[in-house]
Amino acid sequence: MGWAVLLFVANVAASLLRGRPAGDNPWGAGTLEWSVPSPPPPYNFVRIPIVSSREPLWSREEGTPTHVSGLSAESREGLVTTVIDAIPDVRYGYPRPSIWPFIAALATSSWMIWSIYSTQGFVWGLIPPAIAFIGWFWPGRKETEEALALEKAP
Amino acid sequence: MSLRREATPASVPAVRRGDALDVAGLPSYGFGSRSLMWWGTAGMMAIEGCAFAFMIVIYFYFRALDPGWPRGGEGSAPDLLWGSLNAFLIVLSAIPNTYVEKAAMDRDLGKVRKGLIVLSAMSIGLLVIRWIEFKHLNVGYDESAYGSTVWTLLGLHTFNLVTDIGDSLVLTVLMFKGPIEGKRFVDLAENAGYWDFVVLTWLPIYAVMYWAPRV
């Protein structure tokens, strides 16, 4: 195994020094991840692609749409489809980034540690996570207004 | 009528525009399996349901190994009164719960508020009874295998009970104080679904804890 690692390191060094840049899809692969530039941008896809087969880069059904449009550019909207047929069903508004998940993680960890050393801690230690989870859930006025502006009832 | 039809998945089709599939006309929330949180809640019920089932299996496994179960004979079984009162009240709470669920799906804020007040009052009553139940288990949690099993079984259900009561109370405050958007009615419907789970799981646990030592 040592030899295998050594061979790998030698390969990396040789490629770095005098290899040709490989490009975005060097093997002409057919799956979706090869359609993005290399290295991939943090958002992955500018527009949500529509696929109709397992290798969408190789075969594309004629006359089918290529991408999804109509999701909000200002707010974090995702697309929910039906379970089996993957038909677009709901525009789902994701919450904005917030500090609460981090506080919830700290509070939950503290509870677990406290509960190891004390029976009282097992009960009372649940209060900080409860506060953190409620804070995480509680909707802000501005956030709700934004959601209401995009809202369409089912 | 039209409300129910539009509540079925993919009832509003996406519109084709050139190479794009325009989803701007799709609803921004949906009830039942159209909601992501519905799947999360269903997964949570699967996990918690398995935990309850395991505890019941553990209860009978220990009982088979221990001829003096519960220790001290029938007299040391938990007092029947409080557990039965809890079972009665929790089944009764399914009525305002179903009322809230229906009102939430109709997005009727007035009815939702009425139902939530009744449900909150009942759930606080349930918490008080649960507290007394722990006092009338007639065994310490560290006394014997029986004591540990019974405390864990009741503790697990109490954890779910307290979680859902907390959720219901938070939603009650939110429904009076705001801000409210359509998605919050989905939260209410899902909370009601979880309450059904807490009600339904209490029945087998009640039967095992309170009746198994007596038969």
Residues on chain B touching A83 (C-beta within 8 angstroms): 33
Position B98 scores a pLDDT of 96
d(CA B167, CA A136): 13
d(CA A103, CA A11): 45
Q: What is the mean pLDDT of chain B?
A: 91
How would you classify the pairing of strands B15-17 and B20-22? antiparallel
In the 8-state DSSP scheme, what is residue A41? P
Residues on chain B touching A108 (C-beta within 8 angstroms): none
Instruction: Give pLDDT tens digits for B189-208.
Output: 999 999 999 999 999 999 99
Write the ipTM.
0.83
Sequence-separated (6 or more) residues with CB below 8 Å from residue A140: B179
- Distances in Å between the Cα of A6 and the Cα atoms of A12, A101, B24, B57 are 10, 42, 54, 54
pLDDT-derived band at B11 (thresholds 50, 70, 90) equals: confident
Instruction: Give pLDDT tens digits for B94-144.
Output: 999 999 999 999 999 999 999 999 999 999 999 999 999 999 998 888 888
pLDDT-derived band at B2 (thresholds 50, 70, 90) equals: very low
The mean pLDDT value for A120-133 works out to 94
Position B6 scores a pLDDT of 53
**How far off is chain A from B214, nearest CA to CA, in Å?**
30
CB contact under 8 A, B30 and A141: no
| Nearest one of B32, B28, B27 to A83, comparing CA atoms | B32
pTM of the model: 0.85
Total beta-carbon pairs less than 8 A apart between chain A and chain B: 116
Neighbour tally for A5: CB within 10 Å? 9
pLDDT-derived band at B58 (thresholds 50, 70, 90) equals: very high
Tokens of B141: 């949690």
B-side interface with A, Cβ within 8 Å?
Answer: 6-7, 9-14, 16-31, 33-36, 107, 166, 170, 174, 178-184
